[in-house]
Amino acid sequence: MQANSPPLFVRGPSPLVRLLFFGTFAIVLMVFDARFGYMGPLRQGLLWLSYPLQRIAGAPADLFHSVSGFLVNQTRLQQDNASLREDKLRAARDLLVLEAIRADNERLRALLGARERANPGAVVAQILYTGRDPFTRKVIIDKGSQAAVAPGQPVIDADGLIGQVTRVHPLVAEVTLVLDKEQSIPVQVLRNGLRAVAFGSGDGSTMELRYMAMNAEIVVGDELTTSGIDGVFPAGLPVARVTHIDRDSAVQFARVLCAPKGGPGKGAELLVLTTAQTAPAAYPEEAAPVRSARARGARNARRAPEATSP
Amino acid sequence: MSANPIQPVAQSGTYGPGGQALPGRTPTRAIVLWLFVAVLFDLLPWHDMRGIPDLVSLAVLFWAIHESRRVNVGSAFFLGLLMDAANGVLIGQHALAYSVLAYGGIVLSRRVLGFGLWAQAVHVVLLLLLNQILLLILGMAAGGTFPGWSYFIGCLSAAALWPVLSLLHQLGEQAREHPTTPH
C-alpha cells in the first residue's frame, strides 16, 4: 500500500482524501443540478470545451459520407435521379392541390372566424451524436440558440416527428426523442380522429398509447398524427403507426404499442420547427381581452359614480 | 524492462533518487493523447449504444493503474464532468463514477500489475462493472428507466481491449528505452 510507505516525496493528498473531496463535490453538483437547476452556466462552459472535440469526432464520419457520396456509380445516380424526378412530379401535383386547399381553408376559417394556423419556420440541423446515457433517448444536433432554436420546439425528419428540443446551448441543442419515456405527445388517429397521448415505452424502439379505453376504436395499422391540442406540436405531423394492441381484461386499459415514423437512425438531417409555438399564446390572448374588458367594465362601473357625482 | 516483453512489470511512476524521471516513465503527452482519443471515441455518433465500450472509463482506469501518481481522482472527476455535459445528463453523475473508478484503480494498482494480462482484464471487468452499477444507480435515482441487461456488455468489450492497450503501452515503453529500434 502506498499509504504505508514513508513520505519521501511530496505527493499531495492521499487518494482516499481526494476521493472523499471529489465524491462529495460530485454529489453536491448532482443535487444542485437535479433539484435547483443551477448548473446551466457550468454545463455551457463544459460544452464550449467539448464542442471542438465533437466536431473532430464527427469529422471522419462526415468525410466518409462525402467520399462515399463522391464515389457512387453512374447507374445508382441515374436511378436516384429518375426516382427523385418521379417524386418531384408527384409532389408537384400534391403541392398544386395543397395551394387550392390552403386557399379554401383560409376562406373557410375566415367564414368561421377561426384563427389562422401558423406556418412554422424551420431550421435544418444535423445530428452530431447520440447521447451516451442509456436511461434517456437523446440526440445532440448542431444548431443552437444562435440559430433561433429554443426549448420546446418540435423536431421532424422526412417521415414524421422525431422529438422535441429540451435543452439549448449557443451552438448545439439536445433533442429528446419520442422514444424517451418522459416524452409525451398528444396524438390523434388519422382514420377517425380519436385522441390519445403517446409516450415512449423506454425500450428504444416503440411508443405506447397509455390510458386507452378497452373498447377504444383503434386497430393495428392505424396512423397517428399530432393532434395539436398541446399547442407545442403543430397538428397533422405523422407520429407513429399502431403495431400491436393487447386488450387484456385483467388490466384496466388496453395496451397499444406503435412504431414511430421518423427516427434518427434513418438519416442525419433533421428539421427544427422554430415558430411552432403559437397555440399556447392563443388562450391567454383570447382570455385576456375578456378579463380586461371585465376589468375595464368594473373600473368604468367604479368610475361611473365618480363621473356622475360632480 | 524485463527480457520477456509480454510479461508486464510493475513500474508505475519510477523515479530516480533525485526525483527526476527514469526512462520508463510515460510522457505526459502520451497520457493526454490517450485520454483525448477516448473522449473522441465516446463522442462518435453511434446509432446503437449496446456493446460499445465506454473508452473514457477504460482510459481513466488504465492510467490510474499504470500511472497512479499522475492520473488521480481529480483528473477522473474533470473528465467525468466533461462527459456529463456532453451527454446531457445530470452534472456530476459520470464525475462521481469516474472518481470512484480512478480510486479503485489507484488502490489496486500494485496488485493488478502483478498479474498477467488476462488476469488484469478480469480485474478490469470487475472495476468497470462497479463503475456501471454506480452509473445505473445514479441514473435510476435521477428518474431513468432500467436500460436492459445489454447495458452491461459494454464493460466486457472494454475489458477485452485491455490486453491490446497494455501491449501498445509496452511497445511505446520499449521504443522509448531503445530509440534505435524502428517504430
Q: Mean pLDDT of successive 10-residue segments in chain A (310 residues)? A: 55 84 91 82 84 80 73 80 89 86 84 66 82 77 87 86 89 88 89 90 83 88 88 86 88 89 70 66 48 48 44
Looking at residue A20, its pLDDT comes to 92
Q: Is A238 domain-assigned? A: yes
Report if residue A82 sits inside a domain: no
Q: Are residues A237 and A141 in the same domain?
A: yes
Domains of chain B: 28-171 (1.10.1760)
A165 and A229 housed in the same domain: yes
The vertex-A295 CA angle with A292 and A300, nearest 5°, equals: 120
With an 8 Å Cβ cutoff, are B44 and A129 in contact? Answer: yes
Whether the CB of A231 is below 8 Å from some CB of chain B: the reply is: no
Q: What pLDDT is attached to residue B98?
A: 94
CB-nearest to B90 from A34, A128, A181 is A34
The verdict on residue A114 lying in a domain is no
Domain-embedded: residue A90: no
Give the CATH number for residue A191: 2.40.10.350
Q: Is residue A88 part of a domain?
A: no
Residue A110 lies in a domain: no
Same domain? A137 vs A65? no
CB contact under 8 A, B87 and A132: yes
Number of domains chain A contains: 2
Statement to judge: residues A58 and A168 lie in one domain? no
Residues A147 and A265 in one domain: yes
Which residues numbered 246-265 in A keep a CB inside 8 Å of some CB on B? Answer: 264-265
Q: Evaluate whether B94 touches B81 at the Cβ level (below 8 Å).
A: yes
Angle at A34 between CA B135 and CA B40, to 5 degrees: 50
Same domain, A196 and A272: yes
Question: CB-based contact (8 Å) between A289 and chain B?
Answer: no
Are A138 and A65 members of one domain? no
Asked whether residue A129 falls in the same domain as residue A264, the answer is yes
The answer on A180 and A40 residing in a single domain is: no
Domain that holds residue A29: 16-70
Parallel/antiparallel/unpaired status of strands A173-177 and A161-168: antiparallel
Give the pLDDT of residue A10: 61
Write down the pLDDT at residue B18: 41
**Residues A131 and A272 occupy one common structural domain:** yes
Residue of A nearest to B89 (CA): A133
- Residue whose C-alpha cell is 448532482: A30
Residue B179 pLDDT level (bands cut at 50, 70, 90): low
In-domain check, residue A296 = no
Cβ within 8 Å of residue A95, ≥6 positions away: none
B90-143: pLDDT as tens digits: 888 899 999 999 999 999 988 898 888 889 999 999 999 999 999 889 888 877
Same structural domain for residues A53 and A137? no
**Selected residues 108-127 of chain A with any CB under 8 Å from a CB in chain B:** 127
pLDDT attached to residue A158: 80
Return d(Cα A121, Cα A272) in angstroms, integer: 8
Where a domain ends, among A25, A46, A70? A70
Interface contact flag, B96 A26, Cβ < 8 Å: yes
Residues A66 and A130 in one domain: no
